[in-house]
Amino acid sequence: MQIVQTVPFALALIVSICAEARADEVTPAETSRCAEAKEEQCYLSAARALVDSGKLRDAIALLKEGLAAHPESAELTLLLIDAYQRDGNDMWALRTAADFHARHLDDCEVASWIAWIYLKQGTLDEARELLAPMDCGQAHPLAARRELLLSFIEKNAKDDEAAQGHLDAAYAAKSAFAEDKEAIGRLMARDPGYLAPVSGRVDLALGYTANALAGSPLDPAATEQDTGSPLGQVGGWLRLVGPTGRWLRPAAELDVRTLGLTSKAGRDLSYLLLGGRPGVIVGWLPNALLGYRYEGLLIAGGDQYDAGPLWFYHAHRGEIEASVLPSLTVFGGAGRRLFREVGRSRTEVDGGLGGHLNLGAHVRLLGALTGRWHLADKAPYDLWGGSALVSADVRLPKGWSARAGVILGFDDYPHSAGYFDAARAEVERRDMLLKLSASAFTPQLTDNLRLAVTYEFAERFSTTEPYRYRDHRILGKLQWSFSFDPWLPRAVAPENHVALDYGLGSVALEESVQDLLRQDEAAQRSSSCVK
């Protein structure tokens, strides 16, 4: 019975493979049919299939034959120019384009290919002189290409202001070829002051912790019971930025973070953190985001008064985040955090600075220093402290990467003598946190989607024994970052269009210090989640 089922499957697989190969291959009979029929579309279809399959010499020969029959065909000419360029023969690509342009001075598309070849050869004046007087029609996608190429030209001429002006004009165009739209978006994203109108990140993680109580919102004292637990984490962050110019842009951020623990010891410590920050971004670079932030923490467990879930705290803060340089950010905030346990409610002030440094092409360092001060309604919860974060990302062969991170945190409770440990009435509480992590990342599955495996070790040293802990965690993660600009020109794809390859490649969204701080609250505000 198994053989009977397998044979039809094998036959179907063979037919499918043959059909696929047949679709990608152009036979001599088909090229002969094109020669006999002398049809332009036949030449275009057959030559495009040859180009796509890498048979460039055969494609060039067929296109020459097609142009002999249709010498005024812009589509055949462009495809031949493209085939020559792919074959590394810019001289014949330029000659073919120039011959056609001499007969069609108003053809902006062929002229744009000539300008691109000039640009690659470094003859900027010739490229500029060719494009400058051309009128490609403001509503036509070639208007966007003209501005894009002029931006490339001025960037290579070291005139950044003129390059940005042409790029802004391309960005404002009504429509663009798909490859031009993509190039405009990538060039805009290279500007350190640019913020995509829509951007965000999603993190999913499953794993196991040896100590579910470690750094928990309730910060329970140490216990002798087994505290290991499977866990699941979900984090999401979304930023919206208004397209209102370079000096004042409205912005709004939303974020959510959840932790689910399944063990008996940790189940009630599962939580949901919700946050939002509306504000405005002043300036381009340097720039500063001025905003109001709300946070609310919902925990699964109850207390002696009510069953869970319960809102553990609400926070209202004013915040500033200033990009001083492309690689340096300064941030700070102040406000009130209102706890369900009234005595812990506090006025808080915190801030810090962070940035990144590239060490060659394969190593990127991220670092941050933060400080904090809390004035609580109940004096023993008064606090001052700080944290330091260092992370090193290493790019490995074949798209793999690795990361190692260290967090050091220190918190002092100056009015806490005898409060947290009644047995030691003279001892003030002081905590020091050490957190180490190591991660391995797969190559991108799709754009900015990747898998990771992370090991984390954390230990808190404290002068009050009940608040010491040690934890080992292993996590499997899925991470997706995205960036989208709905204000880019509308993409168009005319029939028989030949795409111009700008050679920009794919662009991965690199993590910032703010991304790391969002993922690990321990690095930003305190050595446990909420103290």
**pLDDT of 175 over the 50 cut:** yes
**pLDDT of 457 over the 70 cut:** yes
Name which residue leads in pLDDT, 430 or 191.
430
**pLDDT of 524 over the 70 cut:** no
Lowest mean pLDDT among 87-91, 199-203, 293-297, 376-380: 87-91
pLDDT at residue 161 in the model:
92
188-226 tens-digit pLDDT: 988 888 999 999 999 999 999 999 888 676 655 545 566
CA dihedral 202, 203, 204, 207 (to 10 degrees): 180
pLDDT (average), residues 7-20: 39
**pLDDT of 22 over the 90 cut:** no
Rama region for 503: left / alpha / beta (φ>0; ψ in -120 to 50; rest) = left
Q: Are 227 and 265 contacting, i.e. CB atoms less than 8 angstroms apart?
A: yes
27-54 tens-digit pLDDT: 555 566 676 667 888 888 888 999 989 8
For the domain made up of 198-217+229-523, give the CATH fold: Porin (2.40.160)
Domain ranges in the chain are 22-104, 198-217+229-523
What is the torsional sign of CA 94, 100, 101, 102? positive
pLDDT at residue 227 in the model:
81
**pLDDT of 18 over the 70 cut:** no
pLDDT at residue 213 in the model:
83
**pLDDT of 87 over the 80 cut:** yes
Lowest mean pLDDT among 66-75, 89-98, 417-426: 417-426
**Residues above pLDDT 90, as percent of the chain:** 65
List the structure tokens of 336.
């009130």
| CA 41 remoteness from chain centre | 41
The most distant pair of C-alpha atoms in the chain lies apart, rounded to whole Å, by 102
* Domain 22-104: which CATH number of 1.10.3720.10, 3.20.20.70, 1.25.40.10, 3.30.565.10: 1.25.40.10
Question: H-type helices in 350-504, by residue range?
Answer: none
pLDDT (average), residues 130-150: 88
